[in-house]
Amino acid sequence: MSTEKTFKLDGKSIPFQDGDTIMDAALRAGEYIPHLCHNPEFAPHGSCRVCIVDVNGRHMSACTLPAAEGLEVDNSSERIMEQRRNILQMLFVEGNHVCPGCEKSGACQLQAVAYYTRMLSPHYTHFFPKRSVDASHPDIAIDFNRCILCELCVRASRDVDKKNVFSITGRGLESRLVINSASGKLGNSALSASDKAVSVCPVGAILPKHVGYDQPIGDRLYDNKPISVVGDVASANNQQENAND
């Protein structure tokens, strides 16, 4: 008699282990749930809400909800996809995203998730906030126009790099990413090009300098395969690292 614990995701039985979230179990089973702030290397955060699913009639974040037997999870209905599109549309208009001219186009998780959910227009009125670009660091530039406040760089710098270079200040529409240095500039911070915080950004906010368009459009991560097949940037990087070992 099997003692395997499972829940249902779009009618499919998904096995899970004690301590798993819905997201953990789904990704391990090869089932994609759209997400931006989630990274398997860090504790669940639940800030972006893109991983919203319907669980027994309630809307929940898949990255924070513990897996349990008997759950019926809707991950792909039109109702759920519409909710995700609304969230993504708000993310696009709250910043200044110029996908055709962005170095991360084709390898941007925000862009890829938007395509996956069929979000092809921003719908809402653009805010056009006045945000700066900080190129004071010799190796890294940060474009605050593209930041979606996922806090991945905050968590990576704090939990992995042990430097606390980044933090979020303000509330609501006044929330913004800040640099923890005396001048508030990246160049005066403890950030190094090899830091984990540099590589976890799912958009084009944190970029290496002196590189630019290192891969032509059409040859980038999500140009040939959708994010549901390739996975997120963290998973893709881990796969590449394993292949190089």
pLDDT digits 0-9 by tens, 26-62: 999 999 999 999 999 998 888 899 999 999 999 999 9
**The predicted structure's pLDDT at residue 239:** 46
Q: What is the dihedral of CA 62, 68, 70, 71, to 10 degrees?
A: -10
Q: What is the average pLDDT score of the chain?
A: 91
List the structure tokens of 14. Answer: 């998904």
**The predicted structure's pLDDT at residue 237:** 53
- In the numeric block, the tokens 């300098």 are attached to 209
**The predicted structure's pLDDT at residue 245:** 45
CB proximity list for 95: less than 8 A, separation 6 or greater: 127, 129, 131, 145, 146, 147, 148
User: Which region, left, alpha or beta, applies to residue 196 given φ > 0 means left and ψ of -120 to 50 means alpha?
Assistant: alpha
Instruction: Give alpha helix (H) positions in the chain.
Output: 22-28, 78-94, 109-116, 152-159, 196-199, 227-230, 233-244
244 alpha-carbon distance from chain centroid: 24
Average pLDDT over residues 99-106: 90
Average pLDDT over residues 96-116: 93
List the structure tokens of 70. Answer: 């008997």
Q: Which domains does the chain have, with CATH numbers?
A: 7-76 (3.10.20.740), 104-224 (3.30.70.20)
List the structure tokens of 124. Answer: 């809402």
- Closest residue by Cα to residue 88 from 51, 63, 61: 51
**The predicted structure's pLDDT at residue 233:** 60
Give the β-pairing of 5-9 and 72-74. Answer: parallel
Q: Count of CB atoms within 10 A of residue 159's CB?
A: 14
**The predicted structure's pLDDT at residue 240:** 45
Q: Please, are residues 51 and 116 in contact by the beta-carbon 8 Å criterion? A: no
**The predicted structure's pLDDT at residue 235:** 56
Is pTM beyond 0.85? Reply is yes
**The predicted structure's pLDDT at residue 228:** 93
- Closest residue by Cα to residue 24 from 10, 12, 41, 2: 41
**The predicted structure's pLDDT at residue 45:** 86
Instruction: Give alpha helix (H) positions in 95-232.
Output: 109-116, 152-159, 196-199, 227-230
Q: Is 208 helix (H, G, I), strand (E, B) or coil?
A: strand
- Phi, psi torsion values for 34, nearest 5 degrees: -55, 140
**The predicted structure's pLDDT at residue 212:** 75
**Residue 236 — pLDDT band, cuts 50, 70, 90?**
low
List the structure tokens of 128. Answer: 């056009």
